[in-house]
Amino acid sequence: MKTSLIFFTMLTGLFTGFAANADENSAHGILLVANKGDHTLGLIDTVAGKMIATVPEEGVTGHEVVAAPDGQRAFVPIYGNAGVGRPGTDGQLIRVLDLAKREVIGTVDLGKGVRPHCAVIGKKNGLLYVTTELENSVTVIDPQTLKIVGTVPTGQTESHMLAITSDGKRGYTANVASGTVSVLDLEAKKLLTVIPVCKTTQRISLSVDDRWIFTADQNQPRLAVIDTRTNGVRQWIAMPASGYGSAPTPDGRWLVIALPKVNQVGIIDLATMKVAHTLEVPRVPQEVLVRPDGAEAYVSCDASKQIAVIDTKEWKVTRLIDAGPGADGLAWARKP
């Protein structure tokens, strides 16, 4: 036990030194926020602590955003004017924004209303994956040509959010109304299995080692921990309230999760699988993003039009940054 502890300490120190030098400019990127209320993408300078620009999305409404790895462009799926499973317009476009020019420079037209929502770029192949809810699928797009190159069936309705493994081989969708998670083979573009979780689920994230999937029960204050080796729920983590967006810290030690019903953020210790800290934040926290260097976490707070900034060493809210109305989806764009 003592030897293991010493080895773990050595690894932690090695990782800390590497992380400190791996991306010295990671603190100086731009935080992107999807402002649902005014249909814009907000660009936030986290060092200055202010939103420096907004870019009209030319569509109603984008809930989520992802940045290209080079930091030059952002992709915003135009979902529609309602929440998941609710009546409203059905979006069919994905806007491509130039972050330097601060304007829309391209559009992917999906051909019909499919409510495109969560956008993720594969780390290995660079392809853009977007959940297309009304077709029970994930649509695959070449971000350079803006052409659709495939679809992956999820086998479930309301496939709302998507997480992809670091090797790009597996995808996992949180299927809201069915309370399930679909396991996708992204290379073969096929559904592998569907994991029953609960009555209604929301949001999804992966641990940094791709061992665990996290998705929140919307009817009970608990978080499902799914083992990616067995594709089954391994355990439940009790929480103060139902969770929403979540993100792990780069060292793999913590999971930060929004608790919108109580206006809090929970900090889960992934070694014990228990909530170790709770922090008060402005009303209706939605999504969580941890900065690439791990030093800060950002939480979009829908009703307050603010971003809560969290110090991940002290676990305290250090400041609030004004964003746009209905602040929701977050992404980090590195400076080119």
List % helix, strand, coil for the chain (3-state, nearest 5).
Answer: 10, 50, 40
pLDDT of 5 reads 36
Residue 115 falls inside a structural domain: yes
Residue 18 falls inside a structural domain: no
For the chain, what percent of residues have pLDDT higher than 90?
91
∠ CA 131-133-139 to the nearest 5 degrees?
A: 35
Return the CATH number at 316.
2.130.10.10
CA of residue 134 relative to chain centroid, distance: 20
pLDDT of 218 reads 98
pLDDT of 336 reads 74
Report residue 147 as tokens.
């052409």
Half-sphere exposure of 5 (CA within 13 A, CB side): 2
pLDDT of 26 reads 59
Residue 6 falls inside a structural domain: no
pLDDT per residue as tens digits for the range 1-44: 333 333 333 334 444 443 334 444 557 799 999 999 999 999 99
Residue 19 falls inside a structural domain: no
The domain in which residue 150 lies consists of 28-333
Residue 13 falls inside a structural domain: no
Residue 3 falls inside a structural domain: no
Residue 307 falls inside a structural domain: yes
pLDDT per residue as tens digits for the range 161-177: 999 999 999 999 999 99
| Cβ neighbours of residue 50 closer than 8 Å, sequence gap 6 or more | 44, 321, 322
Report residue 82 as tokens.
């309602």
How far is the C-alpha of 213 from the C-alpha of 288, rounded, in Å? 16
Overall number of domains in the chain: 1
pLDDT per residue as tens digits for the range 279-306: 999 999 999 999 999 999 999 999 999 9
* pTM assigned to the model: 0.91
pLDDT of 115 reads 98
pLDDT of 286 reads 98
Query: Do the Cβ atoms of 182 and 215 come closer than 8 Å?
Result: no
Residue 101 falls inside a structural domain: yes
The parts of the chain modelled with pLDDT lower than 50 are 1-24
